[in-house]
Amino acid sequence: MLDRVLPPGGVEPVALHRAMRYAVLGGGKRIRPLLAYAACTALGGAEADADHAAAAVEIIHAYSLIHDDLPAMDDDDLRRGRPTCHIAFGEATAILAGDALQALAFEVLAQAPLTARDPARAVDALRCLAQACGSQGMAGGQALDLDAVGLRLDLERLERMHVHKTGALIRASVRLGAMCAGAREGRVLEALERFGHLAGLAFQIRDDILDVEGETAVIGKTQGADQARDKPTYPSILGLEAAKDLASRTRAAALGALQGVAAPDSALADLGRYAVDRTS
């Protein structure tokens, strides 16, 4: 699906299109599209119903990584085991690739079957994705992250930062998948939003843990980068073992939110467990 919606690499402007494809198709766990598919199928929808939503959230994620890695942001040289987009294509092209991917995500979501089936809900889906990207979502979270460098945050402020930076798009992925299956406001959607919130936090806590004890070759980015930049993380605030305990408790709460909504052996529950079990 991603290969189909991305511009071909040989079409002008060639460097821009190649950078976009490099960022999106260069590996990754695909957690966000998997959550969209899993939420959709958990509510009785077909996987194909969530194709456009899944592609849109992964494209947004790729755009955010391009910009996060820039010298003006986190200044990373390695992403998914390869040179970051600005290292491979130059800063200007990387910025434009991120801009173009953000626009493409909304174009793809607007083409979803949901648009023809239920135009009002399609507008809600576009609004959901927009809110996940903006000042109350990823962009706001990145701003809080930049402001926090060198500071000693308490746990509440650290969680607020990650609820925006990482959690917003994870929650949107679950919500969009559910909407593709026909879900409307109500108990089920609230439970899925709760699951997405907690799964996103568990995912971030595990990310912080891997920055301490992961291996660069396995995690695909520079181990210890957060500590080197003096960024606040769960292990730096709580200690490593307490951070691991919080990750486990957060995962358990996320799985608890699925009771009565998705089976314990569902793909959605598996992804909730994976958030903490993963090694990369």
- Bridge partners, 79 (sequence order): 82
The number of CA neighbours under 13 Å toward the Cβ of 109 is 31
Q: What is the pLDDT of residue 151?
A: 81
State mean pLDDT over 92-111.
Answer: 98
Ramachandran quadrant class, 221 (left: phi over 0; alpha: psi -120 to 50; beta: rest):
beta
171: Cβ–Cβ under 8 A, 6 or more apart, which residues?
132, 193, 196, 197, 200
Domain definitions of the chain by residue range? 13-277
Asked if pLDDT for residue 91 goes beyond 80, the answer is yes
Q: What is the pLDDT of residue 222?
A: 66
Q: What is the pLDDT of residue 63?
A: 98
Backbone angles phi, psi at 82, to 5 degrees: -130, 165
Q: What is the pLDDT of residue 228?
A: 65
> For residue range 251-263, what is the model confidence (pLDDT) as tens digits?
999 999 999 899 8
pLDDT band with cut points at 50, 70 and 90 for residue 18: very high
The mean pLDDT of the chain is: 92
Query: pTM for the whole thing?
Result: 0.92
Measured in whole angstroms, the distance separating CA 78 from the mean position of its chain's CA atoms is: 18
Tokens of 81: 């085991």
Q: What is the pLDDT of residue 116?
A: 82
Q: What is the pLDDT of residue 220?
A: 64
Q: DSSP for 206-222? A: HHHHHHHH--HHHHSS-
Length of the chain, in residues: 280
| Rounded Cα distance, 64 and 225, in Å | 18
If you count DSSP H runs as helices and E runs as strands, how many of each does the chain have, helices first? 17, 2
Percent of the chain topping pLDDT 70: 96
Percent of the chain topping pLDDT 90: 79
Q: What is the pLDDT of residue 183?
A: 87
pLDDT band with cut points at 50, 70 and 90 for residue 233: very high
| Rounded Cα distance, 131 and 245, in Å | 31
> For residue range 125-155, what is the model confidence (pLDDT) as tens digits?
999 999 999 999 999 999 998 998 888 888 9
Q: Which helix (H) or strand (E) holds 78?
A: strand 78-79
Which CATH number describes the domain made up of 13-277? 1.10.600.10
Asked if 109 and 125 count as a contact pair (C-beta separation under 8 A), the reply is yes
> For residue range 30-56, what is the model confidence (pLDDT) as tens digits?
999 999 999 999 999 999 999 999 999
Q: What is the pLDDT of residue 210?
A: 92
Q: What is the pLDDT of residue 279?
A: 86
Asked if 233 and 211 count as a contact pair (C-beta separation under 8 A), the reply is yes
Asked if pLDDT for residue 245 goes beyond 90, the answer is yes
pLDDT band with cut points at 50, 70 and 90 for residue 246: very high
Amino acid identity, residue 178? A
Q: What is the pLDDT of residue 152?
A: 83
State mean pLDDT over 259-275.
Answer: 93
Alpha carbon distance, N-terminus to C-terminus of the chain: 24
> For residue range 175-228, what is the model confidence (pLDDT) as tens digits?
999 999 988 878 899 999 999 999 999 999 999 999 898 777 666 666 767 676
